[in-house]
Amino acid sequence: MARRERPPVSSVVRMQGTTCRARLALVATLLSAGALLGAPVLAACSSSSTPQATARSFLAAWAGRDWHAMRSLVADPPANFAAVNEAALTDLSVRRATYQAGQLHGSGDSATEPVAEHLALTGIGTITIKTVLRLTDANSGWLVKWSPATIAPQLEPGGSLSLQVNWPARAQILGADGAPLTTQAPMVIVGVEGSLIKDARAVQQVLLAAGAPAAALATALNGAKAEPTWFEPVYTITQARYQQLEPTIYPIPGTVFQTTSARTPITPGLADVVGSVGPVTAQQLQELGPPYSAADSVGQTGLEGAYQRQLAGEPGATVTAVNPADGGPGPQVQTVASLAPKPGTPLQTSIDPRIQAAAEAALAGQKKQAALVAVNAATGQVLASASVPASSGFNIAFDGAYPPGSSFKIITSTALIEHGLGPSSPATCPQQVTVDGEVFHNSEGTAPVSDLLHAFAESCNTAFIGLATRNLTLADLPSTAAQYRLGTEPQIGLAAFGGSVPTPTDEADLAATAIGQAQVLVSPLDMAMVAAAVDSGQVRAARLVAGAADDQIPPARLPAAVVSDLHAMMAQVVATGTASGTGLPPGTYAKTGTAQYGTGQPLRQDAWLVGFNANIAFAMVTVDGGEGGPTDGPVVAKFLDMVNSGH
């Protein structure tokens, strides 16, 4: 009889160092030889890794960026294993990674499993790289046969992954009927570089003299201190304008220039509304965050700046493998994966290019700072906004705050009419009137008047002061102004001043408020909307950008008596009053204003003209321009003539 013998110790040791499949084969051999294997040997075989288990553990560690755990599952990992894997995700700005395994295929001692790497790139989107896990049945169980190609099939030892961000074409800013409000034109970006500045005061003086906006220049100079090697843009000018300024600004150390084909408004006067696009500043780069880089151009002002993300869209990306040169002149670059960009959404505005051009043409040649706003009285949509000088860096038409002077008598008259007065109510126009010890004079004349109609037409301050102090309380004018939405900040897509009509503190303050002085402040847009309300009989919120917060606010109706009385009174201003003889076309209703301010003698005077004609409501202010009728009347007349003629 054959004798049973214990297997040699060396056989057991060798089994522990073999693969599971080899151990099973050895078990079979020993069993055929009559050997007895203990439970520990069988247990060791049944608990050994499978390719599926190894792949799952590897992918889980990869998703968690656990390089130590990954390394323990790799056959012969290189010394730089963790660094290579970390760099791959860092270089692509991956904020989150998930790995989706496909169907595993095995043959003998090897197996493969396709993997889709879903990499969420910061600020861009998710890009997918398709790779393959290769596994081998090593002595210690199934392990990953790792190489840089595991990260991306195109990646070789010593290579790296690179990310290129691809922006779509910038979406258009559109006007009425979808007309583009921008065009491409050769431009020069004037900027500063801190490391080159020798005399900051000289840089400031020469650029301000060249028309650079003070606020933009201050921001650029501050940025140049923080980032001395950066190009800090100040403003963008046409090539023709640069050629005029070059002898003055080029020689100053610290001024730098970039030529570009810039997106610009179709007319110069739209610069404050449409805005500009230029190289990103250090501050903007910090605010926008990834994926923006120092090489990008972004909206700087106006709608271009306010709607930067909408207009720019979402970038796409291309991931490439940059491998060491293989005998060639430079590195070998292969595309790994790509993500298509998502175009931005066009921005629809209410600006009518024809009416805008008329407003700019009417203002052409004005020596003083001035602004003209036109709105559709039936809808509240802004049709034109023009300012001179163009592109001053501050939108005086929307965001300016000026005393309205006698144009505010539209509000005061509304309050008087709501308190029972009318155009025929008695009124007198003395040369001066004293209220609580304060003396008030007339700004635009002291023509004899007998009623409210002619006091309005002649813009008699003393008449309105007398009527207001006798018939109104301190709270009435702020309340009436609120009916016209004065004091409510417009939400039109751009910054805009909503006006301010504080409650008078005493009777003298009431008298000053009644004639648009005291602390009353408005913008041209505010007064254009007041005129639109009188024209249509409905108070509407201004509308500029489709979808802005004020776009859907329902109108509020003015009392019928207010509308009819103001129509009669504003017609009289044009027929015989302070706007007569200025060329305003038939069918124009208006109110002039002369707002005094300052401390010198004579006082400075802003000139106002507010009104409507054929559903076009308008407001014009000329800063330090004198009296409203003679100053603004001819300009508005020219504007209305062009609009009505279709030019």
pLDDT in tens, 53-80: 999 999 999 999 999 999 999 999 999 9
Torsion, Cα of 116, 117, 119, 125 (10° steps) = -20
Q: Among residues 264, 278, 276, 265, which one has the least CA distance to residue 351?
A: 265
pTM above 0.85, yes or no: no
Rounded percentage of the chain residues whose pLDDT exceeds 90: 79
Distance CA 268, CA 393 (A): 12
Distance CA 258, CA 186 (A): 11
pLDDT in tens, 77-98: 999 999 999 999 999 999 999 9
Q: Among residues 357, 437, 319, 291, which one has the least CA distance to residue 638?
A: 357
Distance CA 179, CA 350 (A): 10
Of the listed ranges 131-135, 265-269, 354-358, 528-532, the one predicted with least confidence: 265-269
Which residue carries 């060329």 as its tokens? 583
Q: At what angle do helices 353-363 and 628-645 cross, to 10 degrees?
A: 140
Given a cut of 80, whether residue 21 has pLDDT beyond it is no
Given a cut of 90, whether residue 364 has pLDDT beyond it is yes
Q: Is 112 helix (H, G, I), strand (E, B) or coil?
A: strand
Write out the two tokens for 472: 């109104």
Q: Among residues 548, 533, 555, which one has the least CA distance to residue 492?
A: 548
Distance CA 261, CA 332 (A): 33
At a CB cut-off of 8 Å and minimum separation 6, what does 40 contact? none
pLDDT for 446: 61
Answer whether 51-166 and 353-645 agree in fold: no
CATH topology of domain 173-312: Penicillin-binding protein 2a (Domain 2) (3.90.1310)
pLDDT in tens, 409-446: 999 999 999 999 999 999 999 999 999 999 998 865 56
Average pLDDT over residues 577-596: 96
CATH topology of domain 51-166: Nuclear Transport Factor 2; Chain: A, (3.10.450)
Q: Is the peptide bond before 389 cis (omega within 30 degrees of 0)?
A: yes
Amino acid identity, position 427: A
DSSP sequence for 314-331:
B-EEEEEEEE--SSSSS-
CA angle 503, 509, 513 (to 5 degrees): 70
pLDDT for 477: 98
Burial 526-553 (b: 16+ CB within 10 A, else e): bbbbbbbbbbbbbbbbbbbbeebebbeb
Given a cut of 50, whether residue 26 has pLDDT beyond it is no
403 in Cβ contact with 598 (< 8 Å): no
pLDDT band, residue 216 (cuts 50/70/90): confident
pLDDT in tens, 161-215: 999 999 999 999 999 999 999 998 888 999 999 999 999 999 999 999 998 988 8
pLDDT for 526: 98
Distance CA 329, CA 327 (A): 7
589 in Cβ contact with 611 (< 8 Å): yes
Residue ranges covered by each domain of the chain: 9-46, 51-166, 173-312, 353-645
Q: Is 419 helix (H, G, I), strand (E, B) or coil?
A: coil
CATH topology of domain 353-645: Beta-lactamase (3.40.710)
pLDDT for 328: 65
pLDDT for 11: 28
Given a cut of 60, whether residue 37 has pLDDT beyond it is no
Distance CA 276, CA 575 (A): 43
Q: How far apart are the first and last CA of the chain?
A: 123
